[in-house]
């Protein structure tokens, strides 16, 4: 099956590069020929033009059957115009109902899949599995997609049952449908199933990977997507720590705004809440190292000296962060006082510590509010978690 995704605009009429043909959104076409050997579309099937991309000679069509197959006019795909008449509205409502029923079944199948692969019946490193599956879904990797729940588009046995369950009162009886319309019901149900199953699988993977336990999309916070002036999650390059399973993790990531880079390291600003979390994490790190020294029998003044030579002392003094690195650098003047800027934001050890941008999914905990993608309204809080999976 062919799938296409283009970013070209369809706002203006497009002209076919080899002729005087124009295709505009909303125009009706009928299939004459396609080179796709797997599609269930047949000559005579009708659809509505979504957009035409003249440079690639690609015609994107919403077929009445529910198919989204695009026409490659350079690959000998052919359509003909049949005017602007809208398809049968009543029949489209029937197909919408079939599509919705398929979507409900797809979501349910994906949740059962998640129980086996990510949930209570899963074995091994489910985070690694979730990361691989989510990347495969995003990239359209056939090796991943083929292993996910999907509808059998070539199975005819369930068509009548799906129609009986989903078609609203007043819809034509199954025995009254033409063979073509019977095929359309299968396309609609299967398309609904496949799209919903893929979306739900991705959602369950995001829940598994999220340090906040929700299903928000954080792809805009990937390290390669973070830009100067934009939000990101930051940690020291020293923060990677093996967990009980031997997996390298970051105990806590800090939300901030990237403002600069220094010798390849990130410089960011953050809220007071996040700055307090950084100071608290530094103290916890000092406590862990102190316990390590004590376990080696190192106590008293020697312990204090080794600790201060390894890690800075940090504390809040009113609104200012006091940082003492005099023993770390062997310089009595290596003492700083970090005040907030006019917006109340802190640059905690910027250009002094080796901060890096990290993926939220690599963190066990996030300090600060994870921002939504640009232009996306903030959703109402949702207690989405493993609790929305079906019972085993």
pLDDT at 112 (0 to 100): 92
* Per-residue pLDDT, 216: 82
What pLDDT, on the 0 to 100 scale, is given for residue 142?
87
Amino acid 97: pLDDT: 93
pLDDT, residue 4, reads: 35
Domains of the chain with bracketed CATH: 14-83 (2.30.30.40), 89-209 (no CATH), 222-372 (no CATH)
Directed axis angle between helix 159-166 and helix 89-117, to 10°?
110
Contact 334, 325 (CB under 8 A): yes
**Contact (Cβ atoms closer than 8 angstroms) between residue 254 and residue 375:** no
**Residue-level pLDDT at 343:** 95
In this structure, which long-range contacts are made by residues 234-242, counting pairs with CB atoms below 8 Å and at least 24 apart in sequence? 234/266, 234/268, 234/355, 234/356, 234/357, 234/358, 235/355, 235/356, 235/358, 235/363, 236/353, 236/354, 236/355, 236/356, 237/265, 237/354, 237/355, 237/356, 238/354
Q: What is the pLDDT of residue 22?
A: 63
Tens digit of each residue's pLDDT, the chain (392 residues): 333 333 333 333 333 333 435 677 778 899 988 888 888 888 889 988 888 887 788 899 989 888 888 998 888 888 988 865 555 788 888 999 999 999 999 999 999 999 998 887 777 778 888 888 988 888 888 888 889 999 887 778 889 999 999 988 889 999 998 888 888 898 899 999 999 999 999 999 988 888 877 888 888 899 999 999 999 999 999 999 887 767 788 999 999 999 999 999 999 999 999 999 999 999 999 999 999 999 999 999 999 999 999 999 999 999 999 999 999 999 999 999 999 999 999 999 999 999 999 999 899 899 999 888 876 654 444 444 434 444 43
What 3-state class would DSSP assign to 125? Answer: coil
Q: What is the pLDDT of residues 329-350, one digit of tens each?
A: 999 999 999 999 999 999 999 9
75 Cβ neighbours under 8 A, 6+ residues apart: 35
How many Cβ atoms sit within 10 Å of the Cβ of residue 243?
11
Closest-CA residue to 168 (of 102, 90, 250): 90
Do 114 and 385 form a contact (C-beta atoms < 8 A)?
no
C-beta of residue 205 within 8 angstroms of C-beta of residue 218: no
Residue 384 burial (C-beta neighbours within 10 Å; 0-12, 13-18, 19+): middle
Q: What is the pLDDT of residue 377?
A: 52
């Amino acid at each position: 099956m062919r799938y296409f995704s283009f970013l070209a605009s369809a706002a203006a009429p497009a002209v076919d590069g080899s002729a005087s043909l124009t295709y505009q959104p909303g125009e009706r076409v009928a299939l004459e020929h396609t080179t796709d050997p797997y599609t269930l579309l047949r000559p005579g099937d009708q659809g509505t033009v979504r957009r035409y991309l003249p440079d690639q000679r690609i015609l994107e069509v919403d077929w009445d059957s529910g198919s989204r197959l695009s026409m490659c006019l350079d690959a000998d795909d052919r359509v003909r115009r049949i005017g602007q008449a809208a398809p049968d509205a009543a029949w489209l409502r029937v197909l919408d109902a079939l599509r919705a029923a398929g979507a409900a079944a797809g979501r349910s199948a994906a949740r059962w899949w998640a129980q086996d692969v990510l949930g209570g019946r899963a074995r091994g490193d489910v985070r690694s599995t979730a990361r691989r599956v989510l990347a495969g879904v995003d990239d359209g990797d056939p090796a991943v997609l083929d292993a996910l729940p999907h509808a059998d588009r070539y199975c005819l046995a369930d068509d009548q049952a799906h129609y009986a369950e989903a078609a609203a009162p007043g819809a034509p009886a199954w025995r009254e449908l033409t063979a073509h319309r019977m095929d359309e019901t299968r396309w609609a149900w299967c398309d609904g199933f496949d799209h919903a199953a893929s979306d739900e699988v991705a959602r369950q993977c995001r829940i598994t990977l999220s340090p906040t336990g929700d299903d928000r999309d954080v792809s805009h916070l990937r390290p390669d997507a973070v830009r100067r002036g934009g939000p990101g999650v930051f940690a020291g390059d020293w923060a990677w720590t093996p967990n009980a399973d031997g997996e390298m993790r970051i105990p806590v990531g800090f939300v901030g705004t990237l403002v600069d880079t220094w010798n390849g390291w990130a410089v960011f600003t953050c809220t007071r809440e996040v700055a307090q979390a950084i100071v608290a994490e530094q103290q916890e790190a000092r406590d862990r190292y102190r316990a390590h020294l004590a376990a080696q029998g190192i106590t008293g003044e020697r312990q204090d000296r080794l600790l201060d030579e390894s890690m800075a002392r940090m504390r809040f003094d009113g609104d200012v962060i006091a940082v003492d690195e005099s023993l770390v650098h062997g310089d009595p003047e290596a003492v700083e006082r970090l005040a907030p800027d006019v917006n109340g934001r802190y640059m905690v050890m910027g250009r002094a510590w080796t901060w890096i941008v990290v993926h939220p999914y690599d963190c066990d905990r996030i300090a600060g509010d994870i921002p939504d993608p640009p232009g996306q309204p903030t959703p109402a809080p949702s207690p989405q978690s493993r609790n929305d999976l079906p019972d085993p």
